[in-house]
Amino acid sequence: MKTGTQIQENIKTNISEIINLFLKVRKQTNDICHPLLIEDYTIQPIIDVSPPKWHLAHTTWFFENFVLIPSKKNYRAFNPGYNYLFNSYYESVGERILRANRGYLSRPTIEDIYNYRMYVNENLLDFLNSNGLITTKILKIIELGINHEQQHQELLLMDIKYILGTNPLFPAFLNSENTNEHPPEKPIENYLDMAEGIYEIGYSGNEFSYDNEKEKHKVYLNSFRYLDRLITNQEYLEFIEAKGYEDFSFWLQEGWEWIKLNNITSPLYWHYSQKQWHYYTLRGLKPLGYHDPVTHVSYYEADAFAKWKNKRLLTEFEWEVVAKELYKVIPENANFLEEGHYAPVPRKNYSTQLFGDVWEWTSSAYLPYPGFKIAQGALGEYNGKFMINQMILRGGSCATPKNHIRFSYRNFFHPDKRWQFSGIRLAENLK
Amino acid sequence: MKTGTQIQENIKTNISEIINLFLKVRKQTNDICHPLLIEDYTIQPIIDVSPPKWHLAHTTWFFENFVLIPSKKNYRAFNPGYNYLFNSYYESVGERILRANRGYLSRPTIEDIYNYRMYVNENLLDFLNSNGLITTKILKIIELGINHEQQHQELLLMDIKYILGTNPLFPAFLNSENTNEHPPEKPIENYLDMAEGIYEIGYSGNEFSYDNEKEKHKVYLNSFRYLDRLITNQEYLEFIEAKGYEDFSFWLQEGWEWIKLNNITSPLYWHYSQKQWHYYTLRGLKPLGYHDPVTHVSYYEADAFAKWKNKRLLTEFEWEVVAKELYKVIPENANFLEEGHYAPVPRKNYSTQLFGDVWEWTSSAYLPYPGFKIAQGALGEYNGKFMINQMILRGGSCATPKNHIRFSYRNFFHPDKRWQFSGIRLAENLK
Amino acid sequence: MKTGTQIQENIKTNISEIINLFLKVRKQTNDICHPLLIEDYTIQPIIDVSPPKWHLAHTTWFFENFVLIPSKKNYRAFNPGYNYLFNSYYESVGERILRANRGYLSRPTIEDIYNYRMYVNENLLDFLNSNGLITTKILKIIELGINHEQQHQELLLMDIKYILGTNPLFPAFLNSENTNEHPPEKPIENYLDMAEGIYEIGYSGNEFSYDNEKEKHKVYLNSFRYLDRLITNQEYLEFIEAKGYEDFSFWLQEGWEWIKLNNITSPLYWHYSQKQWHYYTLRGLKPLGYHDPVTHVSYYEADAFAKWKNKRLLTEFEWEVVAKELYKVIPENANFLEEGHYAPVPRKNYSTQLFGDVWEWTSSAYLPYPGFKIAQGALGEYNGKFMINQMILRGGSCATPKNHIRFSYRNFFHPDKRWQFSGIRLAENLK
Amino acid sequence: MKTGTQIQENIKTNISEIINLFLKVRKQTNDICHPLLIEDYTIQPIIDVSPPKWHLAHTTWFFENFVLIPSKKNYRAFNPGYNYLFNSYYESVGERILRANRGYLSRPTIEDIYNYRMYVNENLLDFLNSNGLITTKILKIIELGINHEQQHQELLLMDIKYILGTNPLFPAFLNSENTNEHPPEKPIENYLDMAEGIYEIGYSGNEFSYDNEKEKHKVYLNSFRYLDRLITNQEYLEFIEAKGYEDFSFWLQEGWEWIKLNNITSPLYWHYSQKQWHYYTLRGLKPLGYHDPVTHVSYYEADAFAKWKNKRLLTEFEWEVVAKELYKVIPENANFLEEGHYAPVPRKNYSTQLFGDVWEWTSSAYLPYPGFKIAQGALGEYNGKFMINQMILRGGSCATPKNHIRFSYRNFFHPDKRWQFSGIRLAENLK
């Protein structure tokens, strides 16, 4: 059993680590936004997409509201009106602006928001460096705030892509990379096997994880096989050309109604013009990259594609078992946010492709694991209350911070959403 | 291996059985509708609720369209315009009237529809009694049609209840039973245990079952315990009186938005008037029966109630394991449609309550089992295409035909639906 | 100045007249509904169209609520719940069912409603025949109730036509007349002149009229000329074939948006099938009658047609001046409801066509006349509160009771409505 | 009759005048926007309100599209994509961005737009100063473009007020004026008389006017009297405190539904907080100025207020007759845009108040005058196609450029709109 002094020592070490992480992640958020022009920060073209300045402020509000206001002595809120503006969905923290109205705020200005970020950073450092009593509970909230900000880093890239990619002028966010785009070629289909049996699922270590990854528990899986890579744009284009969007037999009923209502005939950001397929990436509008993993597809499209191929998607349990079988740790060279591609890339040398690039739709609904417990208070609103009508995605994407992902990490979206970097892996039963 | 003659013998036996079943179920549908007045047959107060005459015609159309037209020589459709009017959702069978417009058809008249039913009955009997070659495949379609009609028998009672129960005059469908309603009393909470382990789920016999009940497969379950009865109106009223509808911490986010948007503060059909709670049953508006199982709650409400109780719902796998543990066959005296209560009833003598009365919301999403295969053609549109955004309910209700239900039977509704006879059973983990 | 006795004498005479009128009109309503089947009475396919049984009950409620309940001693309401069900829009008479929900009431039954009508009739006669003091004010309310019921007679025919005419089976309401439909021929365009000057508009006599026809007042009109007949189906077809629905230059902006949103390319009830235009009339689906006056067009369509012809519609003032110039009294043989055609008919022998057949859209907005005064109480809600966003129509139609119309009669509809029997007359300025 | 040379001379004079006017108005637009921050230029909080940068670009597009592209030799469009972005509603000029999506464009940037304005200005000057043949027709289009831009100057102020005034932080657009707000006092009600008779309405001079102000024509008016000033905030507050928003008897039916649906209980920009009424002006949130003319009321509210006062609004004809009676020319000191108040101000010394301050709702619908002719081509889409469902306002406001208004000027809005500077004048019949 630890003594009080030992615990204090541990906390001091932790404080030092957490300050480093906090500063790094806060800076990373600003760096992501660096290429934006002032005009880009404010608009909200669809309800799902928040204005970049909202993300910058909301992640800051999280630290102010859950750490500084309750715990830092004599802390004065930067602007008391910001709680109304930058609370996202925490019912327990009071009234907030309607989500659909986030794009109607020209003020506070971008400059105000960056000042807000600095003010909160300085106060948080001041607080952590003070001799005041920093409890483990407070450190855990800050750790959650850092992870929360990493999630918003991915959301920032998704939302920036939507804001610029649906503008009729198709402005580029970044300068072009040199790409040596190759012509279509026959894709290689290599399936790997997994044996029937009992497997363990979920997080059980001591590092940070979300509540929805627990408790660790056993599942029974039938044998199956899975493709060792992601589906490419070329393969998805074959589905389009085979009139897959016109044959209801491949579609879930609600998916069929969704494509008809919204006149959907290709992934988001694809445009057919001058007899050629193009796609918008954060580097501008380009001819379609045939060997890139397909992305910006909804669950409905992923599922329909799989049915057209006479295959299926993996469950989230199968995916986690596969990941743990293939890797001891998450591979260093996977295409995460830090790589700076901000787009999925073709796999190299026929290597196995699993983490990074695109989130893989699984056929599992977002539901609690056995023994799931909701945290107390506002932080308990983080995950559990969304466990309905959403599907699980696994593996992280080119917009996910590298140290944010885990084997047990569960992402989730409604089946019609596709502005996230989502993609497809096929699987089938082994007889 | 069977000879051709043996197969023919089997089919003949089957034909005779199927004729009996067909006639019985077709008559049962008419019997259910017998108390309706002509005016009640035509309206559609919400999109979910179809006019009773539509059910009568649609179930008939099923036999005409999938059996008589393709297989009976020289068959003449009763009215070629009916395909457009009475197809429900079979995309492969062509254009159909919008679901929302079913209540805008004053014609065909009720008399026309009953004539349509007789015409198809006679033609089907004629077909089955002919010396023509009746294949096993055709018999399977008729068997499916019979099961389909049984499902619509339950829908008829749900829809009739909605049509009359939302009329400001609250007309009774049936005469009152003598009820000796008892005052509230402390409910007994008896929980039964189930051990951790591997269990088998799904249908594997030779009788009729739906495709969504297959394949039989193994699941791993943690130990748990479950209430041996359904939650009562009295217990649910305590939730209301404890202001459960006003505390978001019990609610899924989409559930919270749903109750706020629709101003929901009690189960469907409950009315507070003259300082007393009443509820509409098919026998009219009555003072609330405290010991009845609560019904007409959405998944959101069932889940919120369970959270308020610090418990949870069963998964569909746990439910099936419980059912198989408790019973060898479905108990004879369970409160199904044939009992004629058309409402859940208080359990008697503290007996275990599982089948009948109300469909029990489970915490499982409606998803395919491992190895699930969609049937070919229009009949493949029966189940698989609905496997998104719906939750599983188990056990049958007071409106379910007795021989329609199975241990492995999976019913499913969207989480906001509550015009079905749905109810609540609590469970929790065993540590 | 009249003595008290004289007034009483007058009232007695009036009572006798009003009893006759009351009985005649009440019977006429029932007669109109006679061909309906029970199923036809209950549905409401669009919000504008009320179920026929609602009209039967609402007109009855008017007498019960405004005469019997306030004035008849010891009167007992037929059913106290009916006030909620059959109030149309009188805010001062309390809560009422939402207009959109009128079609969700299977009860009260048709039989109940006819009993309600008889009950109120008997009570009203009993009241009028009693020796009680019947004031002039009460007689005026009954007179208004009779006129109100006549308006609903027209609405009944409009709504019945919509209910049957949008049913995919196109059932006939009445047996066919022998029609000798003639082929298209060149229409004769005869324009009549009207001189510039000051004219008097509005009602000033002692008979019944609505408040919106007063006060009589002067207007100054420029000289103009007008077609001596209505536009025919043949002429309107030329507009369609000239692609008038595809050229925005003929359309008001809101009209253009309306036809695009609703995919409107012809008048209501027109169908192109088997290479021929058909139209639904209350006698079933028929080949288009070329020489019938066109009907079931919106204001947008009437206005666009006129612009395409390089003409314009009349103002309501011009129309009234024309009517008074052409006729001393409303012509006996005009095609009103009592003729029983229930459809506009071709003009005979090139006679001038003005009253009856179809309501003529004018280019005047529905606004108060100088000196307009709103009546006190609930009856003040009859006309004035609708004086916004509607356009005036003049002249009565084939569904208007003959003794209901006046030279000064102002009908009004929103510019997108077209389930009324509305038509087109052209005019132009005289230079 | 003029010779060719004379016409050329006239045109040269006109060119010089038009250049001056063009430069002045173009600069005035930029000046209006000067206090905006970059963030303010881009958002569209409701469909009626366009982003300021859209106005800046659209008014520029008008000159580019209707003058430079068709008439200036070798003119190169600044950016061919701008036609799609900055066309407002001209169907004849091709596809355009949906009005509701104007706020979803972060690019082009503000800098781009100002460059666009300069580029078009320079090209237009170059064109006008060239020796090319400038026709009267072209000059008339430029004149229309200048008037069009003046209209957008008023729209800019309306939209800026909405963008900042609905922001929860209530940022001021301009620095505060010194206001010496006086407490409530009894308002003086002075009514002026107008005699019955024939009057002339409409424009007939040689200066610029819109097509909707013609042809000049006679109307017959009854005698009436009118208040010599506008209704003040204090008077309107009395209506609120008398529960005018809760008594349907004052309201048009559609107005009543509108206030209930939108929960409207005061004019736009009014806020009750800390036991006091405040209102947002372009100088920030302030205590209500009691003696200011009330503004930002809908037609429904203006009409209900008048009914509550047992008065009525003027017709547009009465208003024009009054204006011509009171003034020979529009008074120099009226409160128009150039005064820089950007808000209505209390009248001084009980002087008659007519032009400027607020647009006065009239009881006239926006309809064509006798003899109205729509211009050819795209410019014909300017006025006529909006002549439905809108009401006329007269007199100009504090946001109207002084030399833009005329005695015959007809402004028009839908009856539920109130983000314009709209107000109330009362009138009544003279017996």
Do residues B46 and B103 share a domain? Answer: yes
Task: Band the pLDDT of A41: cuts 50, 70, 90.
Answer: very high
Q: How far is C167 from chain B (nearest CA, A)?
A: 6
Query: Could you tell me which of D153, D167, D157 has the C-alpha nearest to residue D45?
Result: D167
Is B365 close to A370, i.e. CB distance below 8 A? no
H-helix or E-strand spanning residue C31: helix C4-33
Instruction: Output b/e per residue, C351-375; b: 16+ Cβ within 10 A.
Output: eebbbbbbbbbbbbbbbbbbebebe
pLDDT digits (tens, 9 = 90+) for B291-327: 999 999 999 999 999 999 999 999 999 999 999 999 9
* DSSP 3-state of B250: helix
B140 in the same domain as B75: yes
Percent of the residues in chain B that have a pLDDT greater than 70, as a whole number: 97
**Does any domain span residue D250?**
yes
Contact B298, B416 (CB under 8 A): yes
* Cβ contact D398:D144 at 8 Å: no
**C-beta atoms of D371 and C429 within 8 A:** yes
Q: Within this chain, do residues C316 and C422 fall inside the same structural domain, yes or no?
A: yes
Nearby residues of D376 by Cβ (< 8 Å), 6 or more positions away: none
**b vs e for B46-56, b when ≥16 Cβ sit within 10 Å of the residue's Cβ?**
eebbbbbbbbb
* C48 lies in some domain: yes
**D85-119 burial code (b ≥16 CB/10 A, e <16):** bbbbebbebeebbeeeebbbbbbbbbebbbebbeb
CA–CA distance, D376 with D385 (Å, rounded to integer): 13
Domain membership flag for residue D178: no
The overall average pLDDT reported for chain D is 94
Distance CA B41, CA B31 (A): 14
Q: How far apart are CA A330 and CA D139, in angstroms?
A: 71
User: Nearest by CB to B220, which of A91, A198, A367?
Assistant: A198
SS3 content of chain D, % helix, strand, coil (to 5): 40, 15, 45
Inter-chain touch D367–C368, beta carbons under 8 Å:
no
Residue B308, amino acid? W
Interval B321-338: pLDDT, tens:
999 999 999 999 999 999
pLDDT-derived band at B3 (thresholds 50, 70, 90) equals: low
Q: How far apart are CA B296 and CA B284, in angstroms?
A: 16
What is the separation, in whole angstroms, between the first and last Cα of chain D?
51
- What is the rounded distance in angstroms from the CA atom of residue B67 to the CA atom of residue B62? 8
Query: What confidence score (pLDDT) does residue A190 get?
Result: 96
Strand partners, C17: none
D96-119 per-position pLDDT tens digit: 888 989 999 999 999 999 999 999
* Domain carrying residue B364: 191-429
Same domain flag for B196 and B277: yes
A124/A239 same-domain check: no
Q: A131 and A208: one domain?
A: no
Q: Does residue A405 share a domain with residue A272? A: yes
Query: How sure is the predictor about D245, in pLDDT bands with cuts at 50, 70 and 90?
Result: very high
Q: What is the mean pLDDT of chain B?
A: 94
Q: How remote is the C-alpha of B122 from its chain's centroid? A: 28
ipTM of the complex: 0.95
Chains that touch A (3 or more CB pairs under 8 A): B, D
Q: What is the mean pLDDT of chain A?
A: 94
Determine contact, residues D431/D391, Cβ cutoff 8 Å.
Answer: no
Specify whether D14 is located in the same domain as D150.
Answer: yes
Q: Give the up-direction half-sphere exposure of residue B315: CA atoms within 13 A in the CB hemisphere.
A: 19
Pairing of strands D422-423, D359-365: parallel
pLDDT at D4: 65
Question: Tell me, what CATH number does A352's domain have?
Answer: 3.90.1580.10
Question: In terms of domains, do D267 and D134 share one?
Answer: no
D contact set with A (CB within 8 A)? 37-45, 81, 84-85, 97, 101, 103-110, 163-164, 166-169, 171
Tokens for C357, please give them: 């057949």
More reliable by pLDDT, B93 or A278: A278
Q: Is residue D362 located within the same domain as residue D406?
A: yes
CB contact under 8 A, D255 and C222: no
- Write down the pLDDT at residue C179: 64
Nearest to D159 by CA among D417, D384, D415: D417
**Beta B359-365 vs B422-423: how paired, if at all?**
parallel
- Closest listed residue to residue A176, CA positions, set A270, A285, A274: A285
Domain count, chain B: 2
Query: How many Cα atoms are found within 13 Å in the side-chain-facing hemisphere of B131?
Result: 0
Which residues in chain C have Cβ-Cβ distances shorter than 8 Å to B280? Answer: none
Q: What is the Cα–Cα distance from A126 to A240, expressed in whole angstroms?
A: 57
- In this prediction, residue A234 has a pLDDT band, given cuts at 50, 70 and 90, of very high
Average pLDDT in the D128-139 region?
88
pLDDT of the residue at D18? 95
Give the C-alpha distances (Å, rounded to integers) separating B245 from B241, B248, B265, B306, D349.
Answer: 9, 8, 6, 13, 60
The two structure tokens encoding residue A390? 């959403």
Same domain, D213 and D327: yes
Residue D215 per-residue DSSP state: S
Nearest residue to D422 via CA among D335, D350, D352, D362: D362
pLDDT digits (tens, 9 = 90+) for C99-147: 989 999 999 999 999 999 999 999 999 999 987 788 999 999 999 999 9
Q: Could you tell me which chain B residue has the CA closest to the CA of C112?
A: B39
Tokens of A261: 């209502």
Domain assignment present for residue D175? The answer is no
What residues in chain C have their Cβ under 8 A from chain D's Cβ atoms?
89, 91-92, 198, 217-220, 222, 248-249, 251-256, 299-300, 363-365, 367-368, 370-371, 380, 385-389, 415, 429
pLDDT at D292: 96
How confident is the model at residue B187, as a pLDDT? 85
pLDDT for A349-361, tens place per residue? 889 999 999 999 9
Banded pLDDT at A425 (limits 50, 70, 90) = very high
Whether B410 is in a domain gets the answer: yes
pLDDT at D1 over 60: no
Are residues A249 and B380, on separate chains, in Cβ contact within 8 Å?
Answer: yes
Confidence of residue B178 (pLDDT cuts 50, 70, 90): low
Position A92 scores a pLDDT of 79
Residues D52-72 have pLDDT tens digits of 999 999 999 999 999 999 999
| Shortest CA distance from C108: residue in chain B | B169
Residue (of B102, B117, B151) closest to B23 by Cα position: B117
Q: Judge whether B400 and B336 are in contact, CB under 8 Å.
A: yes
- Boundary (domain end) residue, out of A106, A131, A165: A165
Residues D197 and D161 in one domain: no
> D130: which 2 tokens?
């060239």
Boundary-marking domain end, from B165, B182, B208: B165
Q: Quick check: is C311 in a domain? A: yes
Say which residue the tokens 């947002």 belong to: D280
Please report residues of B whose CB lies closer than 8 A to that of C42: 39, 42-43, 106
Helix (H, G, I), strand (E, B) or coil at A191: strand
Q: How far is D89 from chain C, CA to nearest CA, in Å? A: 9
User: Which residues in chain A are closer than 8 Å to D39, comparing Cβ atoms?
Assistant: 38-39, 41-42, 106-107, 109-110
Q: For chain D, which residues lie within 8 Å of any Cβ of chain C, measuring from their own Cβ?
A: 89, 91-92, 198, 217-220, 222, 248-249, 251-256, 299-300, 363-365, 367-368, 370-371, 380, 385-389, 415, 429
CATH number of the domain to which A10 belongs = 1.20.120
In this predicted structure, the answer to whether residue B4 has a pLDDT above a threshold of 80 is no
Residues B372-417 pLDDT 10s = 988 776 677 778 999 999 999 999 999 999 999 999 999 999 999 9
Task: Report whether C418 contacts C296 (CB < 8 A).
Answer: yes
Q: Where are the strands (E) in D163-306, listed by range?
A: 191-194, 197-201, 217-221, 224-227, 270-273, 276-281, 284-287
Closest CA to D53 of D90, D105, D96: D105
pLDDT at residue number C1: 55
- Tell me whether residue D425 is in a domain: yes
**Closest in D218, D386, D388 to C415, CB measured:** D388
Q: What number is the average pLDDT over the span A67-91?
A: 92
- Report pLDDT for C94: 78
The last residue of a domain, from among D165, D182, D215: D165
Token pair listed for D200: 């002339």
Write out chain C's pLDDT in tens, 431 residues.
566 677 677 777 789 999 999 999 999 999 999 999 999 999 999 999 999 999 999 999 999 999 999 999 999 999 999 999 999 878 777 788 889 899 999 999 999 999 999 999 999 999 999 877 889 999 999 999 999 999 999 999 999 999 999 999 999 999 887 666 678 888 899 999 999 999 999 999 999 999 999 999 999 999 999 999 999 999 999 999 999 999 999 999 999 999 999 999 999 999 999 999 999 999 999 999 999 999 999 999 999 999 999 999 999 999 999 999 999 999 999 999 999 999 999 998 889 999 999 999 999 999 999 999 887 766 777 789 999 999 999 999 999 999 999 999 999 999 999 999 999 999 999 97
Is B291:B182 a contact under the CB 8 Å cutoff?
A: yes
- Quote the distance between the C-alpha of residue A160 and its chain's center: 14
The pLDDT value given to residue B172: 97
- The mean per-residue pLDDT over the stretch B5-20 comes to 82
pLDDT higher than 60, residue B263: yes
Phi/psi at D157 (5° precision): -65, -40
Residue B1 has pLDDT above 70, yes or no: no
C391's tokens: 């356009």
B42, HSE (Cβ side, Cα atoms, 13 Å): 28
pLDDT attached to residue A265: 98
In contact, A413 and A301? CB cutoff 8 Å: no
**Nearest-angstrom CA–CA distance, D66 and D77:** 12
Asked whether the predicted pLDDT for residue D2 surpasses 90, the reply is no
- φ, ψ of residue C234 to 5 degrees: the values are -60, -45
How sure is the predictor about A4, in pLDDT bands with cuts at 50, 70 and 90?
low
Q: What is the DSSP letter of B356?
A: B
Rounded to whole angstroms, the maximal C-alpha distance in chain D is 72
Note the pLDDT tens digit of each residue in B26-68. 999 999 999 999 999 999 999 999 999 999 999 999 999 999 9
Is A184 inside any structural domain?
no
